[in-house]
Amino acid sequence: MNRSYQATLYDGHSAAGRVCAALPADGALEIHFDDSTSTAWPYATLTLISDEGDGNRVVLAPGPKSGERLTVAGPGVFRVMLAAVPSLRDQQPTRGYRMAALTAGAIVAVLALAWAGYPLIKDGLAAVLPASWSDRIGAEMVNDEAMFEKPCTGAAGIAALNDLAGRLSRYAGMREPITVHVRSSDTVNAFAATGGHIAVLDGLIQQAATPDEVAGVLAHEIGHVKHRHPLKRLIDVAGIQLIVTGISGDVGAVGTTVLMLNYGRKDEAQADRTALDLLDHAGIKANGLADFFDRMAAKRKNRLDITGFLRTHPPLAERSAMMRDHKSPAAPRPALTDRQWRDVRAVCAAEKAGSSSAKDAPEADK
C-alpha cells in the first residue's frame, strides 16, 4: 500500500504555503488537503526542482514552466519518487557529481576571495546557493527548540500574519515566498531567516499597540529577506565552511546563533527603505514601525525587557524620523481587520494556557 508524505504546496502567487499530503499513486502524484479537496500531478510532466542529500526531502513542480512548488518530506521519499518516476533521475546531477561541483565551487570561491575581495564573493555566493538549501536552513533556524519556546498553534492568527506578509511581499520581486512563524516567548523580537522564513515572538505581538506596528515590523523583516541579508550574515560568520556545512546537511547549528547577531547600519537602512516601499504598495501607513521603535525605546527606560529587539533592531532617531517624514498613501487600508487582529493577539493562547496549567498543577505525592 502506498504511503503518503507530509508536504507543503506553494501556488506561485500567494506567500503562504498550503499544508497537504502527497501520495504517489498510479500514473500521478496525488495531493490531498485538510478540507478534503485534492489534485493530481501526472508523472509524465512531473519535474524535479531539487532533492536533499539525505534523500528525505524533494521539491517538485507539475511541469518545467510551472510556478507551483511542492515540498515533500519523509524517510526515503526521493527513492520512492524515483521508483514511481525513473525519469526524475536525469533531471538533476547525481549527488556525487553535485558534491564534486560544489567542492570545486568552494575552491573557486577561495581564489575569488583573494582576487576580487570579500564583499563581491559574498554577494555572489548569496545569489547562487540553491533555494532549497536556503529554505531548509531557514526553517531549522526559526524552529530551533534550543533557542525558542513552543511554536504557537493559533491557526487563524498565523493565517492572518501570512496573509499580511503576502500583501507586503507581493510587489517585492522575491524568489521565495514569505512564511511567518510565531513562537511563544515574552521576548520582544522578530527575525528574518534564510529561505523567506520570518520568526515573530509573541512578546512583540503583545507589545504592539496596533496592526500597523506589526505590519511595519514584518515589512522591515521582509526587506532583509529581499536583500538576502540573513544569508549574507551567515556567510559573514561561517565563510566557505557554510558551503561544506550545507552539503553535509548539518545546517541548524550554524544558522541559529546568527539570528541573534546585529545587522550593520547599511543593511538596516536598506531594509527600512524597502519596508516603506512595501507598505506603500500594500496601502498601509508607514508610521507603524516608527511608533513601535519610539514606544519600545521609551519603555526601555522603565526597564521593560525588550533588549532582544533593541539589540538586533537599533531604533536610531534618524530612522524613526525618516519614517515619520514619509508620505503615506492618501487612503490607507487597515493592515488587519478587527477580527484578524484579535486572532493575531491570541495566536499563542493555547500555549500560554498550557503553560499556566502546568505551573498551577499540584505536585504529585512522593
Tell me what pLDDT residue 236 has.
Answer: 67
Tell me what pLDDT residue 304 has.
Answer: 45
For the chain, domains (ranges, CATH) are 5-91 (2.30.29.30), 129-358 (no CATH)
158 φψ region: left (φ > 0), alpha (ψ -120 to 50), beta (else): alpha
What does the block give as the cell for 189?
A: 523580537
Tell me what pLDDT residue 42 has.
Answer: 95
CA distances from 249 to 52, 54, 74, 98, 253 (A): 8, 8, 15, 14, 10
**Residues 6+ positions from 108 with CB-CB distance below 8 Å:** none
pLDDT in tens, 190-202: 989 888 999 999 9
Tell me what pLDDT residue 29 has.
Answer: 95
Tell me what pLDDT residue 274 has.
Answer: 93
Tell me what pLDDT residue 290 has.
Answer: 82
Q: Cα separation of 200 and 288, whole Å? A: 16
Tell me what pLDDT residue 353 has.
Answer: 86
- Strands 179-183 and 197-201, by their bridges, are parallel
**Residues 6+ positions from 268 with CB-CB distance below 8 Å:** 313, 314, 316, 319
Is 189 in a helix, a strand, or coil? coil
Tell me what pLDDT residue 237 has.
Answer: 61
Tell me what pLDDT residue 157 has.
Answer: 97
pLDDT tens, N- to C-terminus, the chain (366 residues) = 478 898 988 876 654 678 999 999 999 999 999 999 999 999 999 988 876 555 677 889 898 888 788 988 888 888 889 889 988 877 754 444 444 444 455 544 544 544 445 455 556 566 656 677 778 778 878 877 666 778 999 999 999 999 999 999 998 877 678 999 999 988 888 989 888 999 999 999 999 999 999 999 999 999 999 988 888 877 766 555 555 455 444 454 455 555 555 677 788 889 989 999 999 999 998 888 888 877 776 765 554 444 445 444 554 566 777 788 888 777 889 999 999 999 999 999 998 887 665 555 555 443
Bridge partners, 100 (sequence order): none
In 177-321, DSSP assigns E strands to 179-183, 190-192, 197-201
Closest CA to 188 of 66, 51, 42, 292: 292
Tell me what pLDDT residue 256 has.
Answer: 52
In the chain, DSSP assigns E strands to 5-10, 18-24, 28-33, 38-42, 47-51, 57-61, 69-73, 179-183, 190-192, 197-201
Q: Cα separation of 126 and 235, whole Å? A: 8
The answer to whether the pTM exceeds 0.85 is: no
313 exposure class (CB count in 10 Å sphere: 0-12, 13-18, 19+): buried
Tell me what pLDDT residue 39 has.
Answer: 95
